[in-house]
């Protein structure tokens, strides 16, 4: 069986550039905090990666604070603060905020007081892209980084969080990006690493891989790679939409007004498709497609193993039985037309078998 990986929003394959940078970093023996030549060599790798991530994010001049991932970055940026969020946010963000912002049926969120709120750039389940208001306290940029044209310095937000493994880097490394001069209270205390914001010897190997992946991702974005991915995603939607009865695609009720509301960005991530098949539990769909050779998910990888309806879809107004019957397909470069058509054919066959049992 030739398996097909269609869960890129959970984690991406490791880029060869990241792998090469990580292997090279393994040969560097020094501690980045040491002042001797070996330590300075290690420190130079970290600073190179910091510059690579900043450049890919359009965040030159901002502070890039490396962490163990986006979850720690969220804790560092949100801990001890009283901010509003919407129930579409990742659990790592919602854990620190009040879920009191309202989501409409298209997955859009209006933020009355940006300075006291956080709002994600793009949703991992539906792919819906938000308009980030000027002065926003923090944004989860994780799903958009590498797929959308992001310029942190021009977005008008105070802070953002990102993760390496969402754009071809290694798992276990991320960053909090803040405007220069922004107060950040350290959660991990000890040494003075990461500008005194995050104590502990840096993950040199992971950080080197992150920097290389970010640089490669920026090249791909500039070359139009994700526009090609969007075309393949649209082929997949058409292949599922017309031959398959009773399926719905949350977030696809797009319009010209919707496009304008995202500040010129696409209304949806270029690689994401959420499919609701009422009466067919998302977890069951995931297991069935896995047996047929396809890796997909029922939502965020951090929560899809739990038997519950998607709170993202519930917040958008989908009934509980439908919110619990969603499948997320997320693709990336290298996934072609024949690949998604093979998936669509297998999905339709499984869908018809399910309907026949009702």
Give pLDDT tens digits for 11-22.
999 999 999 999
Predicted pLDDT of residue 306: 54
CB-based contact 91:300 (threshold 8 Å): yes
Predicted pLDDT of residue 57: 98
Distance of CA 236 to the CA centre of its chain: 21
Helices (H), ranges, the chain: 16-26, 37-57, 70-78, 91-94, 152-155, 204-222, 225-241, 256-261, 282-291, 311-315, 320-323, 337-357
Whether the predicted pLDDT of 191 surpasses 90: no
Bridge-based pairing state of the strands 63-67 and 174-178: antiparallel
Q: What is the mean pLDDT of the chain?
A: 93
pLDDT class for 45, splitting at 50, 70, 90? very high
Q: Name all domains of the chain by residue range, CATH numbers in brackets.
A: 4-12+224-357 (3.90.1150.10), 16-222 (3.40.640.10)
Measured between alpha carbons, how far is 248 from 279 in angstroms, rounded to an integer? 12
| Rounded mean pLDDT, 213-224 | 98
pLDDT class for 110, splitting at 50, 70, 90? very high
pLDDT class for 253, splitting at 50, 70, 90? low
Measured between alpha carbons, how far is 4 from 167 in angstroms, rounded to an integer? 18
| Rounded mean pLDDT, 253-280 | 76
| Rounded mean pLDDT, 287-312 | 80
Measured between alpha carbons, how far is 274 from 73 in angstroms, rounded to an integer? 27
Whether the predicted pLDDT of 258 surpasses 80: no
Whether the predicted pLDDT of 256 surpasses 50: no
Q: List the structure tokens of 161.
A: 């969080």
List residues bridging with 140 in a β-sheet: 161
Span 115-129, pLDDT tens digits? 999 999 999 999 999
CB-based contact 236:329 (threshold 8 Å): yes
- Residue 306 burial by Cβ neighbours in a 10 Å radius (0-12, 13-18, 19+): exposed
| Rounded mean pLDDT, 249-253 | 88
Active site residues: 302
Task: Report if pTM > 0.85.
Answer: yes
């Amino acid at each position: 069986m030739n398996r097909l990986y269609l869960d890129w929003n959970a984690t991406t394959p490791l880029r060869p550039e990241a792998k090469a940078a990580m292997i090279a970093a393994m040969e560097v023996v020094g501690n980045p905090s040491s002042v001797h030549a070996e330590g300075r060599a290690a420190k130079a790798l970290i600073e190179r990666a910091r510059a690579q991530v900043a450049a890919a994010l359009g965040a030159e001049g901002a502070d890039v604070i490396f962490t163990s991932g986006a979850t720690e970055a969220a804790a560092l940026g949100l801990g001890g603060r009283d901010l509003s969020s919407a129930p579409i946010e990742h659990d790592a963000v919602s854990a620190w905020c009040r879920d009191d912002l309202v989501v409409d049926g298209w997955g859009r969120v209006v933020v009355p007081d940006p300075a006291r709120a956080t709002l994600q750039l793009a949703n991992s389940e539906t792919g819906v892209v938000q308009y980030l208001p000027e002065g926003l306290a923090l944004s989860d940029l994780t799903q958009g980084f590498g797929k959308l044209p992001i310029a942190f310095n021009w977005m008008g937000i105070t802070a953002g969080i990102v993760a390496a493994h969402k754009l071809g880097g290694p798992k276990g490394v991320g960053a909090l990006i803040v405007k220069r001069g922004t107060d950040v209270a350290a959660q991990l205390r000890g040494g003075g690493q990461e500008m005194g914001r995050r104590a502990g010897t840096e993950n040199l190997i992971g950080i080197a891989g992150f920097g290389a992946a970010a640089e490669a991702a920026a090249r791909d974005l500039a070359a139009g790679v994700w526009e090609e991915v969007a075309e393949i995603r649209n082929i997949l939607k058409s292949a599922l939409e017309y031959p398959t009865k009773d399926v719905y695609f949350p977030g696809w009720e797009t319009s010209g007004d919707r496009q304008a509301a995202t500040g010129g960005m696409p209304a949806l991530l270029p690689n994401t498709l959420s499919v609701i098949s009422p009466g067919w539990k998302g977890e069951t769909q995931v297991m069935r497609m896995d047996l047929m050779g396809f890796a997909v998910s029922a939502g965020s990888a951090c929560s899809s193993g739990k038997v519950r309806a998607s709170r993202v879809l519930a917040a958008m107004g989908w009934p509980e039985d439908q919110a619990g019957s969603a499948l997320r397909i997320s693709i990336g470069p290298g996934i072609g037309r024949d690949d998604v058509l093979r998936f669509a054919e297998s999905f339709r066959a499984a869908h018809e078998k399910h309907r026949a049992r009702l």
